[in-house]
Amino acid sequence: MKIDTVTTTPFPGQKPGTSGLRKKVSVFQQPHYLENFVQALFDTLQGTRGKTLVIGGDGRYYNREAIQTLIKMAAAKGFGTVLVGRDGLLSTPAVSCIIRKYQAYGGIILSASHNQGGPDGDFGIKYNIANGGPAPEKVTGLIYQNTQEISRYLIADIPDTPLEDIGEFQAGGLTVKVIDPVEDYAQLMESLFDFDLIADMLGEGVFTMCFDAMNAVTGPYAHAILEDRLGAMPGTVINGTPLPDFGGGHPDPNLTYAKELVDIMNGVNAPDFGAASDGDGDRNMILGKHFFVTPSDSLAILAANAHHIPGYRDGLAGVARSMPTSQAVDRVAARLGIECYETPTGWKFFGNLLDAGMITLCGEESFGNGSNHVREKDGLWAVLFWLNLIAARHQSVEHITREHWQAYGRNFYSRHDYEGMDGAIAQEIMDDLRGKITSLTGKSLGRYRVAIGDDFSYTDPVDHSRSEGQGLRLVFDDGARIIFRLSGTGSDSATLRFYMEKYESDPARHNQDPQVALADMIKIANELSGILTRTGRGGPTVIT
């Protein structure tokens, strides 16, 4: 096998964020750009000779071309086997599942998650380590350092791998196995959930559902599991064919971008259950008839009802949530007598807790829930959890949620996203807030008195590593919170996120619209940041 050494020079800005490196497709298409980053990654990895690497992506534009480059560079690195999904497709949770099942060295995921695709859209690359989870900061830090010093990359001179059919191919010393992207993941789901119980409910013809795959990677998984294995009616899965541009849509499962599903679930003849997943299959949105479940409430409900699910009947070791996620799950943990950990945003922060056996369930407010079955958030897993729960309790989504509020109280919660912002303006707003946040401690804002004003930091209870600057917090005397955070999942423009939360114990007040219940806090957030004046906008792009 001939290995070419290609001379190159560093590109600026190849610093992986919370979910890897994300840039516009046109940036990745520059000569040497992808190769530089992959070589910088491979230069951090030791002892790879003869080992197995998993490769897959969400099918977005440039996915296939990038996979061919990755295979050739993996051969040059000395990997013995590459497992790649048919047509280059593997959902993010499926990559984690396969890494763990086959004890692979690691895996590379080609995705920009919920960001738009197509020639003018976004592309991304992320490395997952042997536990199946995203690379920790110490690894991504080394990758970034290598990108700044790179002078050459290595690539094998071998033919492209046919990805259309399952099969095994030899390329020099490398074995490339094109695998069914769904089978291993489906087997794992069947080991966790009562498929017979769910199938009985779906097969009765009384319970109806709609799953929107948003023309992204979850389509083949949903067709195979929901329709083929569980017997949901044909047509249950909509937008189920992965497309390079996601059909022109924005594959983010929220009330704004999953409008087709939202309209169906709010229609006259709405199904009993609705759900959507995102570009790479790790996020979920849950809906009932004319009813939306916030991701924070969803995590709390799953934790409170885990005893109904075969894979979790032995109890929960603990739970964890990201700092901006509402404290609803904290109340469940307290009643169960288990620990609830508060981490920074980014699934990699859950990895140590999961590996140490300290938690079983975890989740983020950004439509992501998961458990110890893999080391990524998992959209379809959450959908199956809800279906199993509905089948076991014989209650609707709304009934289950309202009963939960009755038992635990309601955490009114909302996130306001200001997307597509000029990066300099977004950073300026955050810098100004950071400069005054601590001085607000002890002061009154409207009817609220500030108990804590800080920039959240986290010390990992397993490896004692420390992460600073993870989000600006205003915590009031009554436990209500406002959080300001600059998102790390964009490619070039910036997204500012404001989070508002307060607790309500009185069931008579649980039916309020969250935007009404939180109106005074929303006003405080807007005035403190000056965002409407400084951007000229009339309001947020997305409200959840």
Closest to 383 in 3D by CA, of 205, 530, 261, 513: 261
- Tell me how far apart the alpha carbons of residues 142 and 151 are, in angstroms, rounded to a whole number: 16
Tokens of 127: 């490395």
Distance CA 267, CA 26 (A): 40
Choose the catalytic residue: 96, 113, 326, 371: 113
CB–CB of 169/175 below 8 Å? yes
- Closest residue by Cα to residue 289 from 211, 392, 398: 398
Q: How far apart are CA 509 and CA 444, in angstroms?
A: 25
Please enumerate in sequence order all residues whose Cβ is within 8 A of that of 335, keeping only pairs 6 or more positions apart, or say none: 304, 408
The Cβ of residue 245 has, within 10 Å, a number of other Cβ atoms equal to 16
Stated as kind and residue range, the H or E segment containing 29 is none
Residue 113 known to be catalytic: yes
358 vs 317: CA distance, rounded Å: 6
Please say whether the beta carbons of 379 and 189 come within 8 A.
Answer: no
CA–CA separation, 280 vs 19, rounded Å? 12
Q: In angstroms, rounded to a whole number, what is the distance separating the alpha carbons of residues 339 and 330?
A: 8
Q: Is 273 helix (H, G, I), strand (E, B) or coil?
A: strand
Active site residues: 113
